[in-house]
Structure 1
Amino acid sequence: MKRYHFLLFIGIIILCSSCGTTKKFSYFQDLDEYLQKEVAMSDSVQEIRIKPNDQLAIVVSSVSAQAVAPFNLPTAAAMSPNGLSQNSLPSYLVDSEGEINFPTLGKIRLEGLSLEEAVGLLQMRLEDYVKDPIVNIQILNFRVSVLGSVNAPGPFYFTGQRVSILDAIANARDLTLYGRRDNVLLIRENGGKKEFIRFDLTNSNSVFSSKYFYLQQNDIVYVESNKEHQKDSQMSQQKQFNLTLISTAITSVIATISLIIAVSNK
């Protein structure tokens, strides 16, 4: 009987620890409660704004292709990863003053405008030359960097301009087992100042109701390691330092002995 109680006790401990581990790694643990409240996503989601060093693909079209030809850069041929030639969109670089140099129209300041506002501005300027112009703008170098405890850290480039924090993490192949799901840091530069925003991926409201849910170009996502992994890393570094120190000491002793032997043989 005692043995049975002991085994039952061990089984309960294992079950409880398993539940705790699952909860530790699960996302959106309160999702059912979140859905019942029918909480809407934040209405104050920050729009993507054009910044210096953005590469913009701008294409002007109209009923008359001949009329818009002076306002479109020639399409350049580029090599795809498989070695085949493909057409790439011509782009305009937003300079340090926030301006682009547009054919015929000259310098146009776009910094701080949303893509929709930039489209409206260009269409208004083009109406003096083209009837019913249609303008399409795309940011070609929309980059988000994901660092820290993820399986594939690095910079990621997106063709769409509606990229969420979850899209960035998915491209980095998810967090490692050591990554803290309750403390994901977003670093954003806004108007020359750094913003630091934290997400708790275990909390649905923290993610889906945040006005920072959708990322902007050049955002950085950093995933912190848990304390256990940080402690292990520190211990590994200390062990490596100790081994280096011991190796250096042994080398010095051997060199000293060799020198003594060499002097004695003279």
Structure 2
Amino acid sequence: MKKNLLWLLVPALLMFATTSCVTHKPVQYLEGSFDTIPLKNVQWKEPVVQPGDLISVVIYSDNASASALYNLNGSVGVANGINTGIATASNGNDTKGYLVDKDGNVTIVGVGKLLVGGKTKLQISNELMDYFKRNDLLKNPIVDVRFLNFKITVMGEVARPGSYSIPTEKVNLMEAIGLAGDFGPFARKDIVTIIREENGQRSFARLDMYDASIFASPYYQLQQNDIIIIPANKKKEAANDQMTLRYITVATSVISVTAILINLFK
């Protein structure tokens, strides 16, 4: 009789504990109908170099030995594209680059100080190629400029908050949230905050992920070092309290059952 009662009590307790879990509705985006015509064009602004950025500058030409004079560590740059990386970046590459100072300058090997702040990669590349051609230093020079620390940070109610390196140097808000594992069950999707630092100024934007007009926002396409914050809704606090109550209830039940079993087997 005692054994039969034991086998009845334990499954009942386990069933109670497992059925106390919270179920959540799937995440919804872009609710309702909207006009796709004004939103069909992709608005992407090429990122510009900012103070604190780490950039790679690799020079190629028809003469490998001559190119090596202008590359960090004497890397051989030739026109066929061999040996493209030069510095140790935050993403774990063995690539060394130039850290942009507070005034937006870097000192290029064999060239000297160069203002890169506020310029795009293409502008920097063209400026250097013009320098080599104008001074007859390299034959058919090619300059490859890349960001080595292009990253965004996602914080708050997502599955995997943290900083993410973007090797393609191009990412939008939805892609960033996808990288972070999507919204959590208690995320406020209507007030996603983006913090951006540009030209020494900090700006803020709040986007509503239910509203298709986010595609027209200049903050939808992210820039390097952008921070995305997803706050929690009011249900999270209530859910935490409810979960704590469930844990207390389960713990009390376990203690009660244990006491009963002890009395039965005495």
Distance 1:172-1:87 versus aligned 2 partners, 3 A rule: closer
Distance 1:228-1:52 versus aligned 2 partners, 3 A rule: same
Distance 1:218-1:77 versus aligned 2 partners, 3 A rule: closer
The C-alpha deviation readout for 1:68-95, integer Å capped at 9, x for no partner, is: 11111125697xx9xxxx9722211111
- Kindly report which structure 2 residues correspond to 1:110-259, keeping only aligned pairs within 5 A, or say none: 110-127=116-133, 128=135, 129-206=137-214, 208-232=215-239
Distance 1:170-1:116 versus aligned 2 partners, 3 A rule: same
CA distance in 2, matches of 1:34, 1:229: 34
The C-alpha deviation readout for 1:8-61, integer Å capped at 9, x for no partner, is: xxxxxxxxxxxxx56xx311224x6333x3533364x43311011111111111
Indicate if the aligned counterparts of 2:157 and 2:184 stay in contact, CA closer than 8 A: yes
Secondary structure of residue in 1 paired with 2:154? strand
Structure with the higher helix share, 1 or 2: 1
Matched residue, 1:29: 31
The C-alpha deviation readout for 1:140-196, integer Å capped at 9, x for no partner, is: 111211101011111111111111112211111111010112211110012222211
The C-alpha deviation readout for 1:207-244, integer Å capped at 9, x for no partner, is: x22222211111100001112224556x69xx9xxxxx
Matched residue, 2:39: 39
Distance 1:68-1:146 versus aligned 2 partners, 3 A rule: same
TM-score by length of 2: 0.69
Give the residue type in structure 2 aligned to 1:190. Answer: E
**Number of residue pairs aligned between Structure 1 and Structure 2:** 207
Give the residue type in structure 2 aligned to 1:49. Answer: V
Indicate if the aligned counterparts of 1:41 and 1:210 stay in contact, CA closer than 8 A: no
1:97 is matched with which residue: 88, 91, 103? 103
Secondary structure of residue in 2 paired with 1:104? coil
Give the residue type in structure 2 aligned to 1:149. Answer: E
The C-alpha deviation readout for 1:103-149, integer Å capped at 9, x for no partner, is: 11111110111111111111112222112211111111112111010
* Gap runs ≥5 in structure 2: 1-24, 76-85, 246-266
Matched residue, 1:70: 69
Give the residue type in structure 1 aligned to 2:46. Answer: E
Structure with the higher strand share, 1 or 2: 1
Distance 1:221-1:58 versus aligned 2 partners, 3 A rule: same
Indicate if the aligned counterparts of 2:57 and 2:97 stay in contact, CA closer than 8 A: yes
Indicate if the aligned counterparts of 2:34 and 2:212 stay in contact, CA closer than 8 A: no
Matched residue, 2:82: none
Matched residue, 1:57: 56
Indicate if the aligned counterparts of 1:53 and 1:94 stay in contact, CA closer than 8 A: yes
CA distance in 2, matches of 1:198, 1:65: 50
Distance 1:231-1:41 versus aligned 2 partners, 3 A rule: farther
Matched residue, 1:260: none
CA distance in 2, matches of 1:33, 1:161: 30
CA distance in 2, matches of 1:39, 1:143: 26
CA distance in 2, matches of 1:50, 1:131: 27
CA distance in 1, matches of 2:200, 2:237: 32
CA distance in 1, matches of 2:64, 2:178: 41
- The share of aligned pairs that are identical, in percent, is 29
Report runs of 4+ in structure 1 exceeding 6 Å deviation.
none
